[in-house]
Amino acid sequence: MLSFRYLRNAVATVAFGLKLGLTFSLRTMSQLLDNCVRALDPKAALGVLRAFATEPSLVEAVFRRECDQTYLAQRIQNLLDICGITGSSPAAVVPFLRDLPASSMLSGRQRRGMGIARMVRLVEQSRIKLEYFETKLGSIRGCVVDTQLGTEARRVAIEHARHRKHMPKVKNETAADVSDSDKAEQLEPNWGQSRPLGSSRGGEKDPDP
């Protein structure tokens, strides 16, 4: 699983095996610790610490030599720093490390380096999360704008429909209407013409002046 970068799954597998009373090889345990430190993953680191604290005797059976115990103490201190656990020591996790000399532990400078690496990782994670939320927020804003535009378009269409409904209807001019209009124009000059001079009513002539 470590080869496929399934660190948390590997941690869970080792923890379950220790709970069942199984022991693992020094190489397997060392690879697990090294990968946890390199990954700077607080969840994986905390899983290892809990597993070791639950079955310290099985851990001691793997790290029997003093050089191996020195390595284990330094790695446990790394895991404590990754998790941000202060005021604790490797001996608090696995008591058999209590007899190690203080010179075997990590120096303050080495621990500060791990703290800086941890902060850098947290900043990077925050940046990734911020970019993710900015992308999501942009998508939400786009959907809201599209919805508002659709609502505005529907409102404008409804207003246009209402306006057209209340407009007076205009009768379309047909060919018959055009013909009637032409006839009226032809008759119109006769309406204003007076009787010709010299005409009389009932055959009577106008009296001479």
pLDDT of residue 157: 64
> For 56-88, what is each residue's pLDDT tens digit?
999 999 999 999 999 999 999 999 999 988 888
Q: What is the pTM of this model?
A: 0.59
> For 24-66, what is each residue's pLDDT tens digit?
999 999 999 999 999 999 999 999 999 999 999 999 999 999 9
Longest Cα separation, the chain: 162
Cα of 73 vs its chain's centroid, Å: 41
> For 80-137, what is each residue's pLDDT tens digit?
999 988 888 999 999 999 988 888 887 777 777 777 777 777 777 788 878 887 787 8
> For 145-174, what is each residue's pLDDT tens digit?
666 666 666 666 667 666 666 655 545 555
Tokens of residue 138, six digits: 């942009």
d(CA 112, CA 161): 73
- In the chain, domain spans: 7-106
d(CA 140, CA 132): 13
